[in-house]
Amino acid sequence: MRAALWLLALFGIAAAVALFAGNNQGTITVFWPPWRVDLSLNLVLLSLAALFVALHLALRGLSALFSLPRQARQWRMQQKERALHAALLDAVAQQLAGRFSRAGKAAQSALAQERALAGLDARLPQALQVRTMAHLLGAESAHALQDRASRDAHLQHALNEAATAGGQLSPEAREGALLRAAHWALQDRDAPAALARLKELPHGAQRRTLALRLRLKAARLDRRTLDALETARLLAKHRAFSPTAAHSIIRGLATDLLSEAHDAGQLLRAWAELEAEEREMPEVAIHAAQRQVLLRGDLGVARGWLLPIWERTVAEPRSLGDGLRVKLARVLEAGLDSVDAEWLARIEAAQRNNPRDAILQYLAGMACMKRQLWGKAQQLLTQAGLGLQDPGLHRQAWQALARLAEQRGDQEQAAAAWKRAAEADVSS
């Protein structure tokens, strides 16, 4: 439609010019003494138009002639810029393909092309990013080739790069360089260096998932268990792990934190660092109680830690695995000398509610021995000795029965009990 309108307009203009020229009888007289020249107005107008066109073309030609050096320089710059981007892309491709030596050479080529462009006073808008990426690719390749000196040199260049006119490196590029530096330090097993690089990140960047993952690895490698635990909590909140993995990692770190305590006071401080959900983890609470027993701390405090786990176990006997239930019984057994009436009542009630539970029978039997209820203790321990699957508890049950028999002077039953205890040792 638009082309048709333009065609109609051109026809109209042509018709108007033809009518004007055909009906124009005007003349122009030029006096040049002693001559006189009479010219048609139409001819003069056509001559002026032709002169204008010729002059315009001449000026265009001269401009093109004088701009040839500039155009040649621009062409060279464009070729170098294309070569720069090609070298950078080649470095990325070679890096991904695992050809690290070629990737390093391509990165060096990209840097050389960028320097050549700078020598031509080219104003490359992404010059900083290009140099930074080239240096990082070179550092990555050098790291893969175990060339730490070259890697560190490239990394330092990437971190120290600054734009012309006093500009600074873009935040994203710098953060990326620091994260890669932390990753390389971890692979070198240099946890302090990795943590130092991570601390150079802005506060917001430090809380990104990638940075937190690196911090978790570095803290665990450097045996900073509390820092690792705090980092794992943040990662769990960010859903960086599956719920099962997050639970396992936090549980392991909490256990490690408790294991690092060398006296009862340190153990209490470590327990105070744990969150409520972590204290209710059976593995963590039982391990804390075990450490309290080992460090000769207040066993009443340990039983307080175990109370939620005990209540859960009594309500749902199979909520804990047999291994954890055995550990729980051992910890409670270690504190039976100082156990109060309330806890004794809990143990007896749990055994009555679960009369066929061998572990509860054992624990209740040992409690009865501490209270000198010999007959009930013998009954419970005999039942436990016949049903216990754990070799250690099985042995200890028959040893306790042997001592009870010796107290009564029944040497025959004592010998039989000692024999059963020895058989438990052999089977284990």
Query: Which DSSP string do the residues of 260-328 spell out, in sequence order?
Result: T--SHHHHHHHHHHS-HHHHT-HHHHHHHHHHHHHTT--HHHHHHHHHHHHHHHHHSTTSS-HHHHHHH
3-state secondary structure of 34: coil
Residues 147 and 199 placed together within one structural domain of the fold: no
The amino acid occupying position 264 is A
At 14-27, the pLDDT tens digits run 666 666 666 666 77
- Residues 364, 380: contact at Cβ < 8 Å? yes
Q: Which domain holds residue 117?
A: 76-153
Distances (CA, A) of 52 to 48, 60, 66, 402: 6, 12, 21, 128
Q: Which of 303, 298, 299 is nearest to 285 (CA)?
A: 303
Residues 133 and 194 placed together within one structural domain of the fold: no
Residues 226 and 190 placed together within one structural domain of the fold: yes
Distance CA 281, CA 269 (A): 18
Residues 147 and 180 placed together within one structural domain of the fold: no
In a domain, 122, yes or no: yes
Residues 145 and 208 placed together within one structural domain of the fold: no
Phi and psi at residue 31, to the nearest 5°: -100, 125
In a domain, 80, yes or no: yes
In a domain, 89, yes or no: yes
Burial status of residue 38 (CB atoms within 10 A of its CB: 0-12, 13-18, 19 or more): exposed
Q: Please tell me the total count of domains within the chain.
A: 3
In a domain, 139, yes or no: yes
List the CATH number of the domain containing 382.
1.25.40.10
In a domain, 116, yes or no: yes
Residues 203 and 142 placed together within one structural domain of the fold: no
Tokens of 31: 């006096």
- Residues 335, 305: contact at Cβ < 8 Å? no
pLDDT of 212: 93
In a domain, 276, yes or no: no
- Residues 391, 427: contact at Cβ < 8 Å? yes
Residues 124 and 191 placed together within one structural domain of the fold: no
Please give the model's pTM, rounded to 2 decimal places: 0.74
In a domain, 26, yes or no: no
Instruction: Please give the chain's pLDDT, 428 residues, in tens.
Output: 777 777 777 767 766 666 666 666 677 777 778 877 777 767 777 788 888 888 888 888 887 777 777 776 777 777 777 888 888 888 889 888 989 899 889 888 888 887 877 766 666 767 777 888 888 889 989 998 888 899 989 888 888 773 333 445 567 778 888 899 999 999 999 999 999 999 988 888 888 999 999 999 999 999 999 999 999 999 999 888 899 999 999 999 999 999 999 999 999 999 999 999 999 999 999 999 999 999 988 888 988 999 999 888 888 877 788 888 889 888 988 888 777 788 888 888 888 888 888 888 888 888 888 888 888 888 888 888 888 888 888 888 888 888 888 888 878 888 888 888 787 665 55
At 381-390, the pLDDT tens digits run 888 888 888 8
Residues 371 and 417 placed together within one structural domain of the fold: yes
pLDDT of 163: 34
Residues 365 and 400 placed together within one structural domain of the fold: yes
pLDDT of 195: 93
Residues 146 and 86 placed together within one structural domain of the fold: yes
In a domain, 317, yes or no: no
Residues 82 and 145 placed together within one structural domain of the fold: yes
Residues 141 and 180 placed together within one structural domain of the fold: no
Burial status of residue 55 (CB atoms within 10 A of its CB: 0-12, 13-18, 19 or more): exposed
- Residues 284, 320: contact at Cβ < 8 Å? no
Q: Which of 225, 240, 255 is the last residue of a domain?
A: 240
Sign of the CA dihedral with 371 first, then 373, 374, and 378 last: negative
